[in-house]
Structure 1
Amino acid sequence: MNMMDRIGHWGDTHHPAWLDMLRIVLGILLFVKGISFISDTTKLSQLISGLDIRLWTVTAVHYVAFAHIFGGFLIAMGCLTRLSSLIQIPILITAVFFVNIRMGFSYLNSELWLSMATLLLVLTFAVVGSGRFSVDEYMRTHDR
């Protein structure tokens, strides 16, 4: 058994039911955040262009919005949860360490705290997976 299989097996056997509810809330939060990015692309463009990195701003804006909308939906449904969580990690690391930290590390900076909590939850679900109440579990137990 390789390392990824062992992590997956441990995550599948150590998954309480309340963690499924937290996964659903995280997925809905990411989905709503993606919708808000799509509805106000100028704000996201300003955030990304302020990073001074060599990416095309339009491409980065669409990647973030697409990853949040579809990744959030998949996480909420419990379908490909580990993969969807892994796709969110670079976005959230950028949000925590490059975008929101510039505004100061205070309790008034709610976007920083939200990004940090979301990053922690995404890392958690990248390890523990989707749980009992998910599309993945349904597909696993109802094989033809």
Structure 2
Amino acid sequence: MNNVKSLNKWANAHTYLPVDLLRMALGVFLFMKGVYFFSNIQYLVDLLTPIDKIDRIGAGMFLIHYIAPAHLIGGILIFFGLLTRWAIISQLPILICAIIINFMGQMHHQNLLLAILTLAVCIFFLIYGSGKNSADYFFKMQK
């Protein structure tokens, strides 16, 4: 817990508006990806087809119902800077699997680059936190 507090103190002392705008852009991107997955369920199913055994164990529907809502809710939380680290932790398995699936099936260079870039930004905000211009900081100052 002390490590998180020291990281938050460092991040709040070194916060800049472009970093907050990057966090907000990440939130908007994840939200739009969630909306896209909800509106095009077949596209999400096609992305998961390289995993042949997924339909045999019944996890396909679980994954479909986890990925889109996690992107929607996580995107909103990251945009506002509310529970940012928890929202990013819920995104990490999705992004890591997106990278792995690109190597298992047909290689989509654009999807791979997007997943790697999103994963890198998520790891940055997992370490950095939500910053000064966030709901987390606002609620912390209300105490």
TM category, shorter: 0.7 to 0.9
Match of 2:77 among 74, 77, 83: 74
Matched, 1:56 2:59: yes
1:41 maps to a residue whose letter is I
Counterparts of 1:1-144 in structure 2, within 5 Å, are: 2-52=2-52, 53=54, 54=57, 56-96=59-99, 98-101=100-103, 102-104=105-107, 109-143=109-143
Query: Are the aligned partners of 1:17 and 1:131 in contact in 2 as well (CA < 8 Å)?
Result: no
Number of residues of Structure 1 aligned to a counterpart in Structure 2? 139
Given the two structures, how large is their TM-score scaled by the length of structure 1? 0.86
Q: Aligned partner of 1:56: which letter?
A: A
Q: Secondary structure at the match of 2:136?
A: helix
CA contact (8 A) 1:103 1:109 kept: no
Q: Give the CA deviation at 1:10.
A: 3.5
- Equivalent-residue separation in structure 2 for 1:59 and 1:67 (angstroms): 12
Task: Structure 1: give runs of 5+ residues left out of the alignment.
Answer: none
State the identity as a percent: 35
Farther off after superposition, 50-59 or 132-141: 50-59
Superposed CA deviations along residues 25-61 of structure 1, whole A, max 9, x for unmatched, are 0000000000100111112112223223456111101
| SS of equivalent to 1:49 | coil
Determine the C-alpha separation between the residues in 1 that align with 2:34 and 2:44: 10
Query: Offset of 1:142 from its aligned partner?
Result: 2.0
In 2, the alpha carbon distance for the partners of 1:90 and 1:12 equals 27
